[in-house]
Amino acid sequence: MLKLILYENWSNISESTYRRYEADKSFPDIFLLCRIAKIFDKKLNNLLPEYMVDVNENSSAENSNITKYLSEKIIEQYEERLKDKDCQIALLKSMLEKYSSI
């Protein structure tokens, strides 16, 4: 059901991305998690892995841990996207140089 909702509402999520989420190789960013929580009328904590959620939902330490973990994940994902973009730019530059000399 989640797969169907992701496909219907956010066409920018590829099937391979969804598979990485399912295999715990990647984690959706905070914005996507918030949208999913809203669709299912759930708290964000209900969508997070158990090791990130403390039994006491009012705990400020829990909120701190969740914030730290999500911040680290967002930075990780951002850095990976920057690397991908750098590779794409390098490829485009080499193609431009190759074809401009013709």
pTM value?
Answer: 0.41
- Give me the residue spans of the domains in the chain: 2-100
* Residue 44: Cβ-neighbour burial (10 angstroms; 0-12, 13-18, 19+): middle
Query: Which token pair is 99?
Result: 């074809």
pLDDT tens sequence across 47-99: 777 776 655 555 566 667 777 788 888 888 899 999 999 999 999 999 998 88
pLDDT in tens, 5-15: 555 555 567 77
- Residue 4 is predicted with a pLDDT of 55
What residues have CB less than 8 Å from 28, skipping those under 6 apart? 21, 36
